Amino acid sequence: MINGADVFTITIRKRAWWFWALAGLWLLLEILLLQTAVASAQEREYRAATISWMLVGLLATLGCFAWLRRRGPHKRSNLSEQHREATTSEPASISTAN
């Protein structure tokens, strides 16, 4: 319940198609870099392995950051929307756009 209202709205927003395309590309790159890191260590190419591990870490951090960054404003806007809807006494609804 928000601000004492007995109804609330949950809005599940659909992520844009390009977000999923980027996520797919990110995953492919992570797999490729991970494989390069492991294989380079097996080949005793330690510098290549170290750089690949660093890139795996960097890309993972960037990925997490992008994910959280997208979730943050959503959460806030959802809340403010919910707050608006709740205070204007619209009928209770659960909309699933996905």
Partner 1 sequence: MEEERRQTGRRTLLKAGGLVVASGAIGSIWAFVTGVSTKGNARKRAMWIRIVDRPTLSEKTSDYKRFSGNDMFALYRPLKTQRDGAGSFEAEQASKAERVAAWIRERKPGYSLPDVQLSEGAWTVMHSTKPGVGLLSWTRISVRTPAELGTPRYTAPPEEMASTVKAAARLYGAGLVGIAPMNEAYVNLQALRESENEKDKDIVFGDVDVPSVSDTKFVIPKKMKWVIAIAIPMDLDLLSSAPTALGDAASALGYSHSAFVVSSLAEFIRGLGYEAIPCVNDTAQSVPFAVDAGIGELGRLNKLVTPEFGPAVRLCKVFTDLPMACDKPVDFGLVKFCRNCKKCAEACPSRALSFDDEPNFKTRGPWNNPGHKAWFEDSYKCLQYWQKSNSACGICLVSCPYTKGNEAWVHEGVKATASIAPAADPVFRIMDNAFGYGKQHDPEQWWMNKSQSGRRG
Instruction: Give the interface with partner 1 as residue ranges (CB under 8 A).
Output: 24, 32, 35-36, 39-40, 42-48, 51
Task: Locate the DSSP E strands across the chain.
Answer: 10-12, 94-96
Asked if residues 97 and 14 have their Cβ atoms less than 8 Å apart, the reply is yes
Minimum gap (Å) between residue 33 Cβ and partner 1: 8
**For residue 67, what is the enclosing H or E element?**
helix 46-87
Based on CB atoms, which residue is closest to partner 1, 8 or 30?
30
List the beta bridge partners of residue 95.
11
DSSP 11: E
